[in-house]
Amino acid sequence: MNQFARTYWFTWGFLLLAALFTGVSNLQQAFFGGVFAALFSTLATKGYIKLGLRFGPFLGATLGVVWAVFMLYYVRWTGSAEDYLLAQWNLGTSISIHAAGFAGAGLFSALANRITLGKSATAGAVLATAMTAIPYGVIDWVDYRCAGPIEAVLLVSPDVAANEAPPRLPGAEPAELTDAELQALKNRLLVVSGPGGNEVIDEQGRRYWPLWRKKLVYPGNPKGPVRHLVILLPPDVKEAQSWTLPVTDDPKGIAFSILEADSKSSSIVTKPSPSIRTVFSVNARPDLGQMLLKEASLQVTRQSPIGNFYNPDPPKSELYIYFPKLADKKAQDKEELILKSKTLPVVELPEEK
């Protein structure tokens, strides 16, 4: 009975500590998840002892992989879509933790009847820690390079008068350019302060204002380094199109792209990332008899340099990009004159004799 108890407490304790240090789950999930995983490892105690030092840890690592994959499918069957996506994201780390914990328990159980309990526990802990640290270190490095959030800001050039700023829709959240983005834009375009705040002027004299800012976070790495993507949408784009835009290889870098017709663009980026692909699309919808651009979506696809274990980011398709045109002041003045003329009193002139 003591053999089973030792295997259980070793496995549960290591899984709890590993989950907390790697951040794959919170304390509650790690606690209860470790309870059931340790029970599964405990069932193999006799196998660990019988296979000995050579194959006991191998059996444990195999069972750890089986358990991690089983839990992925369990979340798929019982959890929500977001839970399953998060479980997919953490599958590599979950496999490394469980394989290491079960392998350490296998070595601990195999040594427990040969050497002292303290030495056998130390040997199992060293093996499990090494098996976790190496793959988790590689995964963490790849995540840092490829899986950080991408913050995109869209600048548009609406049809406004020279001394006017575009009116925003009621309730629209204002977007502002950061100091780093302004500096990057100043290296390529003219940035001035106008009626509506900072304006960007391109080579053709068109003025741009930031319309919206969105941060695209890949599940599992919400606090990683943030890349910045600045997009300039000119007014001559009148139909639905898509553009493939580069982002920087630097996880904290800034890239900006000026869109053109026929899905062409001119991008300024120091070193584009070969692992991240962004596709920006605009959708046209009829309005008062003509097609107007009203929605945009940004799709991010990540490719790991060590195998393809990234799913496409959730698309952002609720981005409203239509600025209402300014009213024609001449037409307004003409209507006011007509209204005034209708309300003027009528004076009757005396008849000539």
Q: What is the mean pLDDT of the chain?
A: 79
Q: How remote is the C-alpha of 289 from its chain's centroid?
A: 37
- The answer for residues whose C-beta is within 8 angstroms of residue 15's C-beta and 6 or more apart is 30, 33, 34, 37, 38, 97, 98, 101
Q: pLDDT for 80-108, tens place per residue?
A: 887 887 788 788 888 888 999 999 998 98
Q: What is the CA radius of gyration of the chain?
A: 31
- The answer for residues whose C-beta is within 8 angstroms of residue 136's C-beta and 6 or more apart is 22, 93, 96, 97
Strand partners, 268: 256
pLDDT (0 to 100) of residue 88: 80
Q: Give the range among 111-115, 254-258, 307-311 with minimum mean pLDDT.
A: 307-311
| Residue 79, both tokens | 């959890």
Q: pLDDT for 314-326, tens place per residue?
A: 665 555 555 444 4
Residue 350 has pLDDT above 60, yes or no: no
Residue 224 has pLDDT above 50, yes or no: yes
Residue 29 has pLDDT above 60, yes or no: yes
Q: Answer positive or negative: Cα dihedral of 339, 340, 341, 342.
A: positive
pLDDT band per the 50, 70, 90 thresholds, residue 226: very high
Q: In terms of DSSP H, where are the helices of the chain?
A: 2-22, 27-42, 45-78, 81-89, 91-112, 117-146, 179-186, 329-343
Share of the chain above pLDDT 90, in %: 11
Q: Give the range among 171-175, 293-297, 347-351 with minimum mean pLDDT.
A: 347-351
